[in-house]
Amino acid sequence: MVRRKRNLVGLLLWLLGNLAVAQTSPPHLSEQNGPGISPPDRTNDAHASLLPAAPPLLIEPKSDSAANLSPAAIGWGNLIVPGLGATLRGKTGEGLLEAVTEIGLFYGGTFGVREGGFTIDSTVKIPEHGSLYRPLLGQTMQEIGLKLHMYDTFYHYQQVCRQQANSAREQSNPQPLYQGSWSDTLLAPFRWKNFREPWVWGVVLATTAYEFYDYRTTTVARNYYQPTTAENTLEGANSIAVIPLGSSFGEEVLFRGFIERELRGYTGSLILADALQATAFMLLHPPENRAIAFTGGLYFGFLADRFHGDLEPSIAAHFWVDAISGFFSYLQFRRAQGKNTPFAPPLGMRVSMPF
């Protein structure tokens, strides 16, 4: 409770600070003089010498030009402080909205539930017995908040990199910048041009074979708590849709589009950059899933290089691998309740391979 209060106080102070910046920052000179109207030329004004010099802030207007912004500072800064990337780009209102939405969803998901350690998807502990509705709802809220934060971090980094496309820094980076919009990222798993790639359908087929074999040969312990229809629906939606979409939408652009790309720029090495981002990716997963997360991180990092910075094939592969794993996990969840499921083995363990 103390930790939560401190977090909320910190958020309040952050919001007040940004509001103060928004109120004190001068508007662009073109806005002061009307759209499309430049400031009056007083060079030849006889009385110009009698006027006081304009303060520096008024003759150096703030703009969204990224000429003096570091893409790395935008990316790493926003990753640590939600909304900072937009604020540094001169979009204070957008930064406030991002911070309130992302932090609100994440901490809103913690009320009334038990928490475990922080993972890439949630801090909420799903109980083995008893009511599941509030924990599952909290997990959904946290998943959305976290993955929005990941995408927004990449988005602001992407925008600054685009504006500096002709700089030596951007020209020398061996990994091209992913240029897709939020809709490209969200819809990538459902575009045939991505799924038809052997690097995508091959790993999806291998995952399906493994999960089916595991489902057929693994027994599950009988759970005598009978979830309600709403709880079953939330479990199915989280396992098959929400977590896979969140993973593909937020994790790929952050880990492969931002972190791996920056590390390649620092080190000049694909192998080192891929290994480092995969290690970070692995450490944000629960211990039981870290081996497969590291392997998946390496593979998706390889795809980012294989397709010259285009992340859509890895986004598609990531979504379908998680969706298939979630589907079989949901079947096991239903079987533990004594429900009939297709190809059901005898009534041990709930299986999942989320990354």
Distance between CA atoms of 316 and 329, rounded to whole angstroms?
Answer: 20
User: What residues are paired with 124 via a beta bridge?
Assistant: 115
The pLDDT tens digits for 275-300 are 999 999 999 999 999 999 999 999 99
Query: Residues 125, 113: contact at Cβ < 8 Å?
Result: yes
Nearest 10 degrees: Cα torsion 292, 327, 233, 251: 40
Distance between CA atoms of 175 and 304, rounded to whole angstroms?
Answer: 8
Distance between CA atoms of 209 and 26, rounded to whole angstroms?
Answer: 61
Task: Compute the C-alpha angle 152/77/96, nearest 5°.
Answer: 55
Distance between CA atoms of 132 and 342, rounded to whole angstroms?
Answer: 24
Q: Which DSSP letter does residue 55 get? A: P
The pLDDT tens digits for 173-189 are 999 999 999 999 999 99
CA distances from 4 to 7, 53, 108, 223, 329 (A): 5, 49, 11, 33, 32
For residue 323, give the nearest of 254, 238, 259 by alpha carbon: 238
The pLDDT tens digits for 242-284 are 999 999 999 999 999 999 999 999 999 999 999 999 999 999 9
pTM of the entire structure?
Answer: 0.79
Q: State the residue for tokens 């990224």.
A: 66
How many residues can be counted in the chain? 355
